[in-house]
Amino acid sequence: MTTNETTTGGDLDQEPIVVWSAANLMEAEVVKGRLASAGIPAVVRSEALGAIYGLTTGSLAAADVLVPAALAEKALELLHSEDEADDSMAPEG
């Protein structure tokens, strides 16, 4: 007996996973650059209208940064460690 299976055409570890939700395209590009400098491939997904109209706030300006599922944990560790380092450098008060 044989069974038919449907696949998406790629391995599940290559499925894109959102690792960062940015307020705007500029922030998403900075995060993508951080990941790229660590050797983690990333892509930015955003609404086309936000880019066309140059929006920087609101839901149309929001953008997501995605990485392959196999690298998602590494990407999250990198981004959260840099987040904590930025917080420790902030002046108190």
- Predicted TM-score (pTM) of the model is 0.75
CA neighbours within 13 Å on the CB side: how many for 10? 8
Mean pLDDT of the chain: 85
Q: What phi and psi, each to the nearest 5 degrees, are found at residue 54?
A: 70, 30
Q: Which residues pair with 17 in a beta bridge?
A: 67
32-59 pLDDT per residue, tens: 999 999 999 999 999 988 888 888 888 8
